[in-house]
């Protein structure tokens, strides 16, 4: 008779995500996972597979949650520029409150595991394309409503803001000064007009 799981799989996945996010893939051992997640090694393997499979699922959860958050922020603001300002303000707030200075899990993973992992590179390229499309569609909405000039290149602006946002998250890990971060964000957003 199979044993009943004594844990919530989603809660364990979120905790694993937090650990990988803070320590990185290579610095997180299976024993770290067993200790932090408070489940035995056999249950971990039975439910998630090995460390790499657990990492991939945790990383997917982070990307999905982040994309949902971005979409929610944008949907909550009629003004596109205000939507981007809200996004950067939220990022600043998270950075200031993050005593571990984790930054962005996607950025951390990119710098840790690329080059070297071709499958992960594909995942990261898809993530980049998805977020840039979300940004571009939102900017295009601002063009269509007259908030921005019709001469604004929505795709180019989206690509630049995506690049800036990722660099912004790195800088916030090093120097989470809200005033400096706010000035940087406002300067970046000035490209919208």
66-94: average pLDDT: 97
Of 4 and 15, which is predicted with more confidence? 15
pLDDT at 109 over 70: yes
Which residue carries 């984790």 as its tokens?
A: 102
Instruction: Indicate the domain borders of the chain.
Output: 7-57, 77-192
Report the distance separating Cα 170 and Cα 154, nearest Å: 24
Which of these CATH numbers, 1.10.357.10, 1.10.3210.10, 3.20.20.150, 3.40.190.10, describes 77-192? 1.10.357.10
In this predicted structure, the answer to whether residue 127 has a pLDDT above a threshold of 60 is yes
- pLDDT, averaged across the chain: 95
pLDDT at residue 149 greater than cutoff 90:
yes
- % of the chain exceeding 70 in pLDDT: 97
Confidence of residue 5 (pLDDT cuts 50, 70, 90): low
Cα–Cα distance measured from residue 39 to residue 22, given in angstroms and rounded to the nearest whole number:
19
Tell me if domain 7-57 and domain 77-192 are identical in fold. no
Residue 3 has pLDDT above 80, yes or no: no
pLDDT of residue 7: 83
Span 22-38, average pLDDT: 97
pLDDT at 6 (0 to 100) = 75
Q: Which of 172, 191, 175, 192 is nearest to 90 (CA)?
A: 172
Mean pLDDT on 109-138: 97
Tokens encoding 168: 């912004």
Q: Write out the CATH class of domain 7-57.
A: mainly alpha
């Amino acid at each position: 008779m199979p044993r009943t799981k004594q844990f919530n799989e989603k809660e364990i996945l979120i905790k694993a995500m937090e650990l990988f996010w803070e320590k990185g893939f290579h610095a997180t051992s299976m024993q770290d996972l067993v200790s932090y997640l408070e489940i035995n090694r056999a249950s971990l393997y039975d439910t998630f597979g090995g460390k790499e499979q657990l990492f991939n699922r945790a990383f997917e959860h982070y990307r999905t949650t982040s994309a949902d958050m971005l979409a929610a922020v944008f949907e909550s603001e009629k003004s596109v520029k205000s939507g981007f300002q809200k996004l950067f303000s939220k990022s600043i707030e998270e950075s200031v409150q993050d005593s571990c200075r984790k930054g962005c899990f996607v950025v951390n993973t990119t710098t840790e595991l690329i080059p070297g992992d071709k499958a992960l590179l594909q995942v990261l390229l898809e993530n980049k394309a998805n977020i840039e499309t979300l940004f571009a569609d939102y900017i295009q909405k601002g063009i269509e409503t007259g908030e921005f000039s019709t001469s604004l290149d929505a795709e180019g602006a989206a690509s630049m803001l995506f690049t800036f946002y990722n660099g912004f998250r790195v800088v916030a890990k090093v120097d989470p000064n809200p005033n400096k971060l706010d000035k940087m964000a406002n300067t970046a957003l000035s490209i919208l007009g």
